[in-house]
Amino acid sequence: MISKSTIDQVFDMARVEEVIGDFVQLKKAGSNFKGLSPFSEERTPSFMVSPVKQIWKDFSTGKGGTVVSFLMEHEHFTYPEAIKYLAKKYNIEVEETVQSNEEKEAAGERESMYLVSEFANTYFQNTLHKTDAGKAIGLSYFKERGFTEETIKKFQLGYSTDDWSGLTDAALKKGYLLEYLETTGLTIVKEEKQFDRFKGRVMFPIHSMSGRVLGFGGRILAKNEKAAKYLNSPESDIYHKSKVLYGIYYAKQTIAKEDNCYLVEGYTDVIQFHQTGIKNVVSSSGTALTSEQIRLVNRLTKNITVLFDGDAAGIRASLRGIDLILEQGMNVKVCTFPEGEDPDSFAKQNTHEELQKYLKDNAKDFIAYKASLLMEEANNDPIAKADLIRDMITSISKISDQIKQELYIRECARIMDISEEVLFSTLAQMNKKAQFEANKTAQKQKKAFDVVKNTAPTKKIDLQFELEQKIIEILLLYGSQTEDFEDLILKENDEGILILEPVIHKAKVFEKIYLDLQEDEMQFSNENFKTIYYLIIDYLNQNDTFIVESFIHEIDPKLAPFVSNILMNDERYRLHNWGKNNIFPKRKDVNIAQLVSETILSLRCFLIDQKVNEFKEATHESLTDNTNVLEDVLNYSNLKMLLSRKLNRVL
């Protein structure tokens, strides 16, 4: 268990905009920040972060909460893990008890896989630095590659001995289960035998964006024609190679700061660049670039510079990944190194300043680079040239920005010595074909939707839910404020008719709401709202002011998303910058007393309707005298009429 003092310290120190800024590129939007959703595919920002309230809301998925709930959603952390991550980020010492073997066994499957991976990572590092074989073989290799001791430790590089089951035996001895060693791919189990997957290899741990160990890459050192030079962890519940970029954990902050990401091919390319001082660099780890990997970068920057070595065949194959980058609405540049050089070797031979200058001077826009490269391949062959022009136009068609498209068409025409009209015509044909295919797909979806539309019942608005949510919202925003309230006292006039007599008095908003609900014995139907309501009332009774971020971190983490959703609901209007068009959403704090009264009265009217309907049903089913029931119905109806008059006046 983590001590409460540690948790309190973490919430005091952690800033939601700083933590989320490590995963999403945030831009200022008034008093808040906005960015692309990290939970869905989108090109228009629907993700909002509030530094004042220390909460976030993703309008594309409906998710929201505190800094801790973000880590739990995005990185699949448990609550303690999220606290530990934040503690590490803000240099806070964590007070906790040592995890027992029983607790390890009780952990969930995914969590157990993470624990096993972390153990293996520590084991490989200790083997590298503290054993004779590790120092003589593994450490010597890394130093021959030019890596300093500091770099080796920073990237948590390690070594797996040439023993058949060194890691497996050590893990089992520590109480880790064989099934999780197998599911993470660390151990291969065949019948009665079990042995280490990475035996005799130097180890490169692969981290998530938050720094969790997802899997490993291992390079064999001994000459063995039957064994692969590089071996990666197999796919598992925690490691999906198509969704991971090597080095993203170490590069994310610099990528956002520099507003550019360098993309290389291998582990050592990333490490050597980082050591030379270029830290905004990641690798697809030898796999073909995927849309999921590109989206990881897209959260941090719109600019990618792809770095190639002098291998022409490799360049031609890698160019296919550029179209994927363009489809994500990103800007692409390409930089190649001299023949015989790759990013690793070139960075090793140059200083930070020299490498930086080379990248700046030699990075070309993708269209200029691809056109010149393909023209060389065509070698004045008209048929080949025509095919290459279509290839270029295909790439340009992936760009959603029409202005960019036109500029690229003109540049392509200049390089390839062909008229712009022909290129524009070809582009139009491609776009027409793409639109036709899109329309066909849309028609199919529409037909499927029509079937559902005709059979599915229309979803009704849950008025009670809306009103209860509004009460919670008012308490969160204005609970501690003092207002002038107009109370309505029900009394008979001289003619014996029920009337509502107004009386003005000062009260705190939370007191007014609490007393009104108590007076009418009104209860929340939604259990989450009910729990949050009593927590707010209790908090306000003990504190003179209501501090949202303090309240949220004290409540159950499962309730935090409900609170953040309510608080951030109106921020969706700010995402679209409606103010530019002179459209301004109505402020809720213009008349807080009116808002409170209107909401309470609306809830009373709703509950009266419910009560009247109950009486009507009872009257319909009963065979006895219903005189008393009818009187109750009449009284409730009169009361509702009075309340409705008051509501009309308020409205």
3-state SS of 249-262 is HHHHHHHHHHCCEE
| DSSP letter for each residue of 239-301 | --GGG--BTHHHHHHHHHHHT-EEEESSHHHHHHHHHHT--SEEE-TTSPP-HHHHHHHHTT-
Tokens of 552: 């949220």
Tokens of 136: 């003589």
**Mean predicted confidence (pLDDT) in 398-422:** 84
The rounded radius of gyration (Å) of the Cα atoms in the chain is 32
β-pair type (27-29, 32-35):
antiparallel
**HSE of 322, CA atoms in CB hemisphere, 13 A:** 25
Percent of the chain with pLDDT over 90: 26
What lies within 8 Å, CB to CB, of 110 at 6+ separation is 76, 237, 238
Sign, CA torsion 68/70/73/77? negative
Evaluate whether 278 touches 307 at the Cβ level (below 8 Å): no
β-pair type (303-308, 261-264):
parallel
Rounded to the nearest integer, the mean pLDDT of the chain is: 81
Segment 187-193 long-range contacts (CB within 8 Å, at least 24 positions apart): none
Domain ranges of the chain: 4-89, 100-239, 368-434, 463-650
For the stretch 113-161, pLDDT in tens is 999 999 999 999 999 999 999 999 999 999 999 999 999 999 999 999 9
Tokens of 172: 């089992």
For the stretch 561-587, pLDDT in tens is 788 888 877 666 555 554 454 444 455
Percent of the chain with pLDDT over 70: 81
What lies within 8 Å, CB to CB, of 155 at 6+ separation is 204, 205, 250, 271, 274
For residue 20, with 0-12 CB atoms within 10 Å meaning exposed, 13-18 middle and 19 or more buried, which class applies?
buried
Q: 3-class SS at 219?
A: strand
What per-residue confidence (pLDDT) applies to 601? Answer: 79
The winner for highest mean pLDDT among 449-463, 484-498, 635-649 is: 484-498
What per-residue confidence (pLDDT) applies to 448? Answer: 52
The whole-angstrom separation of Cα 189 and Cα 174 is 19
The topology (CATH level 3) of 100-239 is: DNA primase DNAg catalytic core, N-terminal domain (3.90.980)
Domain 4-89: CATH superfamily is Zinc finger, CHC2-typedomain (3.90.580.10)
The whole-angstrom separation of Cα 635 and Cα 394 is 74
For the stretch 14-56, pLDDT in tens is 899 999 988 888 988 888 899 888 888 777 888 999 888 888 8
| CA 98 remoteness from chain centre | 31
What per-residue confidence (pLDDT) applies to 537? Answer: 87
pLDDT: is 534 or 320 the higher one? 534
Query: What's the DSSP call for residue 139?
Result: I
Q: How far apart are the first and last CA of the chain?
A: 52
Residue 628 has pLDDT above 60, yes or no: no
Q: How many CB atoms lie within 10 A of CB 495?
A: 6
Evaluate whether 166 touches 158 at the Cβ level (below 8 Å): no
Query: What's the DSSP call for residue 164?
Result: S
Q: Using alpha carbons, select from 182, 4, 176 the residue that is nearest to residue 103.
A: 176
Please state the three-class secondary structure of 102-117 as a single string.
HHHHHCCHHHHHHHHH
The whole-angstrom separation of Cα 349 and Cα 365 is 26
What per-residue confidence (pLDDT) applies to 584? Answer: 43
Strands, E assignment, 493-545: 498-508
**pTM higher than the cut 0.85:** no
CATH architecture assigned to 368-434 = Up-down Bundle (1.20)
Tokens of 293: 């990997």
For the stretch 459-494, pLDDT in tens is 566 788 888 888 888 888 888 888 888 766 666 777
The whole-angstrom separation of Cα 178 and Cα 521 is 57
Beta-ladder partners of 502: 488
